[in-house]
Structure 1
Amino acid sequence: MNGRLVHTGQVVLDLVMRVPWLPVSGSDVMASTMDFLPGGGFNVMAAAARAGADVLYAGMHGTGNFADLARSAMAAEGIVLAHGPSGEGDTGISVALVEDNGERTFITGTGAEGRLPRGMLDGIVPTGHDVVYLTGYSLLHESNAEALMDWLPRVAGATVLCDPGPLAGDIPEPVLSAVLSHVDILSCNAREAEILGAASGGVETVIVRDGPAGCRVVTGEDVVTVPGFAVDAVDTNGAGDAHCGVLAAELIAGTTLLEAARRANAAAAIAVTRRGPATSPARAELDAFLRTTR
């Protein structure tokens, strides 16, 4: 691969708790398992790195125990850091409640990763071989959004991939419009696509992820359904991240968009059979899965 994934999102620590159901207001529920793992943007980057891509983390990371854990996890995956630790406190935490049916609910507390200063991205110059990854979470942090809107006009030539995330409807419209004008590929689930509606109309390619059904690749008036893979899901946490990370790695490798989407579907299918947020497979495992699964 000649290019790299330039990830502009946020790495956090995930406190993953498996629960029989979500508690109602004022009640309590006992978790059957509990894990403390790197998450957020780490999931996408780990997926891309395991699929063979070079990865640069352009986001912020703090000082403290959580930040140390995040940096250690990124180093283990071969992810390169664009910046040193920030003095804006520790890295944030997301509590992920995973129900027995595999569905997940998040509660996120922001740390240093949500305080990317304007101009911090100036030293990063993507090439035409790179994929620049954006997440809607960045656009909910004022400083991160300003830094991205200032930098994005200078990344022409790179492929810009954006996942708006479940809080897409909370992104201020002027910010969303400004960012989407620089996006080449928008990857979202069916609910997020409905929320965005006409706002996504100016993006050249939209990929709508639809769980086990696979995904739809929409380019102008052309809509192609790329079938998914039937598996027994135990944890959907990180499935969309696995999809985006492998999609990016395949595009960097020169794979066609539809084949990249098929491989991304397979990676997401493997990921949901495992517990945890960063469960995307290595490239060799993905190849083996595709050889034996129809």
Structure 2
Amino acid sequence: MRYDRLLHLGHVVVDLVLEVPALPERGGDVLATRSEGTPGGGFNVMAAAARQGLPVTYAGAHGAGPFGDRARAALRAEGIETLLPPRTEGDTGFVVCLVDAEGERTFVTSPGAEATLTPEDLTQLRPGPGDVVYLSGYGLLYEANRAALTGWVPQLAPAVTLVVDPGPLVHEIPSAALELLTARADWWSCNAREAELLTAIADPSAAAHALQSRLKRGSALVRTGPDGCLLHHDGTLDVIPGFAVDAVDLNGAGDAHTGAFMAALAQGLAPAAAARRANAAAAMAVTAPGPATAPDAHALDDFLRQARPAPVPRGTTS
């Protein structure tokens, strides 16, 4: 099925990215080798999808201060529509992101206006059969957003596609909210660590099977880093190999994967082909510093014509 538009109900924040040789010890300090401030969070997913040609609307809340101004400017630059007006009572939140010498990232989040979604904000949002709705687990961590979203999701028409990415704090999401989303999600996309937190199963393949068993109508996609991803769809678990690249910064790789996957599905690709394209987008994203480094459609097409998938790791089950 082809889709017309992505409605994003996650969070746009500003990432304060600091590259460090190593994380400091408790009570210690370390000098950053590079730093920047850039829109992040849900922006990364939306930018990845928009660069693949999928029309995108940001339906989340945002603030009226300098961080909010910067976030909206970035959305406009990507051709992304903003549905709600700015919150005049506060600014958009920010995330401190520490990227170590191995490219791994560690986050500290300071919530802002994006954590103040209300049921009234969602009254004008009426998705149709041609829409993909994206929800992030971050939205379920804040009481106001959780109340608004859990009241709104059950009203979605069956023909609307719901994509859920639970995020790294999935273990802190209240169980009732998680159950609501697993009952309604059409696609559940997470990384191997998040799958283990959800299922208490360390093996990604077994965790993907367990996740699939929880979904009432949807399919599971488990990202396995440079190895690619596992796709559990229509009763079959497929190993979709990744692509060998020289990683510089892992920040935003999962977001690039999710955005490209949704865009590929929107264009009518079969799930396995969409997952392969998403693996390639994530591989390209980690070769450049910064969170919003997903490629555009032309660059991704070129990469796929030339690249070869990495070998499937030994011991991977299907």
TM-score, normalised to structure 2, is 0.90
Give the aligned partner of residue 62 of structure 1: 63
Give the aligned partner of residue 243 of structure 1: 257
Say whether the 8 Å CA contact 1:3–1:127 is kept in structure 2: no
Equivalent residues in 2 for 1:255-294, closer than 5 Å: 255-294=269-308
Say whether the 8 Å CA contact 2:212–2:219 is kept in structure 1: no
Tell me how far apart the structure 1 counterparts of residues 306 and 10 of structure 2 sit (CA, whole Å).
34
Runs of 4+ that moved beyond 2 A: 198-202
Structure 2 residue 232 is the aligned partner of structure 1 residue 218 = yes
Give the superposition deviation at 1:275. 0.2
Render the CA deviation track for 1:179-200: whole Å, top value 9, x for unaligned: 2211111001111111111566
RMSD between superposed Cα atoms in Å: 1.2
Give the superposition deviation at 1:88. 3.4
Give the aligned partner of residue 104 of structure 1: 105
Render the CA deviation track for 1:134-165: whole Å, top value 9, x for unaligned: 10000001111111111112222111111101
Give the aligned partner of residue 314 of structure 2: none
Give the aligned partner of residue 311 of structure 2: none
Q: Which runs of 5+ in 1 are unaligned?
A: none
Give the aligned partner of residue 77 of structure 1: 78
Paired amino acid for 2:72: R
Structure 2 residue 26 is the aligned partner of structure 1 residue 25 = yes
Say whether the 8 Å CA contact 2:3–2:132 is kept in structure 1: no
Structure 2 residue 213 is the aligned partner of structure 1 residue 201 = yes
Tell me how far apart the structure 1 counterparts of residues 259 and 235 of structure 2 sit (CA, whole Å).
26
Q: How many residue pairs get matched?
A: 294
Give the superposition deviation at 1:111. 0.2
Give the superposition deviation at 1:219. 2.6
SS of residue in 1 equivalent to 2:117: coil
Tell me how far apart the structure 2 counterparts of residues 97 and 108 of structure 1 sit (CA, whole Å).
12
Match of 1:161 among 163, 188, 193: 163
Paired amino acid for 2:257: H
TM-score, normalised to structure 1, is 0.97
Residue identity (%): 52
Equivalent residues in 2 for 1:34-53, closer than 5 Å: 34-53=35-54
Match of 1:253 among 267, 283, 287: 267
SS of residue in 1 equivalent to 2:123: coil
SS of residue in 2 equivalent to 1:106: strand
Distance verdict in 2 for CA 1:120–1:47, change over 3 Å: same
Give the superposition deviation at 1:220. 5.8
Q: Which runs of 5+ in 2 are unaligned?
A: 200-209, 309-318
Render the CA deviation track for 1:37-57: whole Å, top value 9, x for unaligned: 000000000000001000000
Tell me how far apart the structure 1 counterparts of residues 93 and 100 of structure 2 sit (CA, whole Å).
23
Say whether the 8 Å CA contact 1:88–1:111 is kept in structure 2: no
Q: Which moved more, 1:284-293 or 1:246-255?
A: 246-255
